[in-house]
Each structure stands twice: as structure tokens, then as C-alpha cells.
Amino acid sequence: MKLGRVGKTGESYAFDKRGFLLTKSRFNEDLRNAGELSKDDISMMTLRITDPDVNLQEQPSLALVRNKRPLTLMAEQAISGNFLEHLEPYRDYRGVKVFGVWLWDKVLDVGITTEIDAKEAFLPHEKTKRTIYVVLFFIILLSVGLMILFFLMKTKESKLLNQHRQHLETLVKERTLALEQANITLKYLSETDPLTQIANRRSYDKQLSLAVLSAKITKQPLSLLVLDIDYFKAFNDNYGHDAGDGALKSIAQHISSTLPRATDFIARYGGEEFVVLLSTTDIDGAYSVAERIRSKIEAIAINHDFSGIGDFITVSIGIAVLTANISQGEDLFKQADKALYEAKAKGRNNSFYFQPDE
């Protein structure tokens, strides 16, 4: 990086707080000849602005050892913040007497100077004055340019950071929404019977516990129906499992359509068994619902030539109602299941409600 050249011997350059050049020196060739730079060095970030105590072009052998050289007067005062006019010549990093002006840019934290050999500086006054004005203008222009560049870089950086943050926020929202949707889907799959698309055994167990607790708190009746398809094994064995699956789907749909209330709950318990929970429903209401379901299943007339009681698929239904001596849903199911056994024993295709032993 180069800044500017002034006249035949003047140059502008930048340096950091340690005194290292941040720009390329105009006098690289002279410095190589004096042994200050190697063949491949270009002075930038390798050369410190120190006073060798002698002119390196004239007496390089008498120069101070590099690590013992002090900073030049200009560098020392610029780094320390002294910007008062200096009207006497001083030695630059070549050991040449020069005049210079300098400043310290607090934004970039770098020093900027323009120096010119004293011999050239003592040319006619007007020429020198014009040169100094030009030098000052270049320094100001350079400083303004550097500040504008710094501002533009900061603005661009801020814009990129905002864009990146917005992208991350959008990505997080999308991932969160996808995760929520996946959880909803997973919950549905975990609680739905894949064949009939009604609730499964797991969902029923959860719903039964909640229904029993609610009934005990509100002191409202709760009824449970357990339905079993009559002679379904014979239907499967003779018509095939595809026909059996179709029958299960149809029966599940017709049971659901028979339950008008949103609080009524149907689930496939397993195999050819279904369960129905009827909140705020006493034994008479439950029996009425059970008979309506049984009649509707019989009315859809799914052909069953291998049934022991008729020509179409029928169901047997056991009914139980929650009483004070029942503490758990499991006990309510046992009563309904026992009633189902009685319904089958009485010839199937009927509804029977649980009656406690006398």
C-alpha cells in the first residue's frame, strides 16, 4: 500500500503505535543499499520508524544498532499525542534531515505523516508553502477517505449481521413449526388405530382414567359399552382378512355416526372389540345407545353366511355404569366385559347391562 509522494524527496506514510510502517516506503532501494532491508522486503510492517543517528546513505557503518535506536522525533510525538508545530529539521528513519507534519487518527488508531528532505524544503518560500498546503490537503483528504471507508465497512458489516440474524430467526421459526407439526402428527399416530382411524387402546386407557376422575368430581354418571362382533373369526377365515378389515372399518364408522355428542368417545380395543365411553349417561341412556348401535350394525347388512345366528354381521354389547364402589376404570371395564359375556351367553346380537350379584 502506498500513500503519496511529495516533490523529489517527500513522502506520506502511515504507522502504528509500535512505530512500524503500515505503507510502502518510497526509499526501499536506498534502504536495501544501506543494509536496512533484505532483497525481498518491502518495508511495510517490517521497518520501524527509528532514528539511526547518522545518514544511512552516507555513513551506514556508524548507525546505531537497530534494536537500540529510538523512535524518530516525529513518531515519538505523534504517538504521544503532541501535534505542536516543529520548525526545526529532524532525522527520519533514513537518518536524513527532514521537515514534517503529522497527526494521529483516533478512529483507525494509526499515525499519518508527510516528510520532505530539509534540503528540498529550503527551496523558495512560496513553492514550499504551496507544497505544504498540498501536503496538508492530502493528509486531510486521506484522513477523510479513511474515515469514510471505515464507516462504509462498519455499515456493511452491520447490514450483513442483521441479514444473518434475520435468516437465523426465520430458520428457527421454520424448524420450531416443523417440530410442532411433527409432534402433533406423532401424537395422532400414537393414539389412532391405523386400520379404522378411530382412537386406539392407548388413547382409550388415557380417556377412561380422565372420564372416571371427572365423573367422581362432578358426581355425574359415566357408562361404558364393550362391543364384540359375533362370529368374526369365522368371517375372517372364510371371507379373508381383506374383507375382515373392510368390515371393521365399516362398523367403526357406523358406531361413530351413531354417537351424536362431542363428549362421546369410541375406540378400537383390539381385534374385533370396540369400546364406547358415554359421559353424563345413566344405565337407561347407555342401554338405549347400545341398542341403537346394535340395530344399525345389523341394518347395514354385511353378509355373513358363517354366522351362527343369522345371515349378516351382528354385535353383542356389554354395558356398565360407574358406581360409588368403583375406584378405577379397570373395574368399570371388568363389569362391562362381564355383561358382554352374558350377552353372548343369551344368544348374541343383543345388549346386556351388568347386574351385581345378589
Q: Kindly report, residue by residue over 148-190, the tens digit of the pLDDT.
A: 988 888 888 888 888 888 888 888 888 878 777 877 767 666 7
Better-predicted residue by pLDDT, 129 or 74: 74
Please report the pLDDT score of residue 235 as a whole number. Answer: 96
The string of pLDDT tens digits covering residues 182-220 is 777 676 667 899 999 999 999 999 999 999 999 999 999
Question: Is 80 exceeded by the pLDDT of residue 138?
Answer: yes
Question: Is 80 exceeded by the pLDDT of residue 104?
Answer: yes
Least confident of 80-84, 87-91, 243-247, 310-314: 80-84
Distance, CA of 302 to CA of 299 (rounded, Å): 8
Question: Is 50 exceeded by the pLDDT of residue 122?
Answer: yes
Question: Is 50 exceeded by the pLDDT of residue 85?
Answer: yes
User: What cell numbers appear for 74 in the block?
Assistant: 516525529
Please report the pLDDT score of residue 189 as a whole number. Answer: 66
Residues above pLDDT 70, as percent of the chain: 95
Distance, CA of 25 to CA of 155 (rounded, Å): 31
0.85 surpassed by pTM: no
Better-predicted residue by pLDDT, 128 or 277: 277
Please report the pLDDT score of residue 125 as a whole number. Answer: 60
Better-predicted residue by pLDDT, 59 or 176: 59
Question: Is 60 exceeded by the pLDDT of residue 2?
Answer: no
Least confident of 95-109, 215-229, 309-323: 95-109
The string of pLDDT tens digits covering residues 28-53 is 888 888 888 888 888 888 889 999 99
Is residue 143 very low, low, confident or very high in pLDDT (cuts 50, 70, 90)? confident
Within the chain, all domains assigned CATH 3.30.450 are found at 4-156
Distance, CA of 279 to CA of 133 (rounded, Å): 98
Q: If you average pLDDT over residues 72-99, what whole number do you get?
A: 89
Beta strands at 110-117 and 222-229: parallel, antiparallel or unpaired:
unpaired
272 among known catalytic residues: yes
DSSP of 235-286: HHHHH-HHHHHHHHHHHHHHHHHH--STT-EEEEEETTEEEEEEET--HHHH
Least confident of 21-35, 111-125, 265-279: 111-125
Q: Yes or no: say if 51 and 72 are a contact pair by the CB < 8 Å rule.
A: yes
Catalytic residue among 272, 291, 330, 342: 272
Q: Looking at this protein, which amino acid is placed at residue 80?
A: S
What's the half-sphere exposure (Cβ side, CA atoms, 13 Å) at 112?
22
DSSP alpha helix (H) spans, the chain: 28-33, 73-80, 118-121, 125-190, 201-218, 232-239, 241-258, 283-299, 329-345
CATH (residue range 4-156) = 3.30.450
Question: Is 50 exceeded by the pLDDT of residue 358?
Answer: no
Q: Yes or no: say if 306 and 234 are a contact pair by the CB < 8 Å rule.
A: yes
Which superfamily does CATH assign the domain made up of 201-353 to? Reverse transcriptase/Diguanylate cyclase domain (3.30.70.270)
Question: Is 90 exceeded by the pLDDT of residue 252?
Answer: yes
In whole numbers, what is the pLDDT of the chain averaged over residues? 89
Better-predicted residue by pLDDT, 120 or 343: 343
Within the chain, all domains assigned CATH 3.30.70.270 are found at 201-353
Better-predicted residue by pLDDT, 274 or 123: 274
Q: Which of 56-70, 73-87, 227-241, 319-333 has the highest mean pLDDT?
A: 227-241
Better-predicted residue by pLDDT, 328 or 264: 264
Is residue 328 very low, low, confident or very high in pLDDT (cuts 50, 70, 90)? confident
Q: If you average pLDDT over residues 83-94, what whole number do you get?
A: 86
CB atoms within 10 A of CB 283: 16
Question: Is 90 exceeded by the pLDDT of residue 97?
Answer: yes
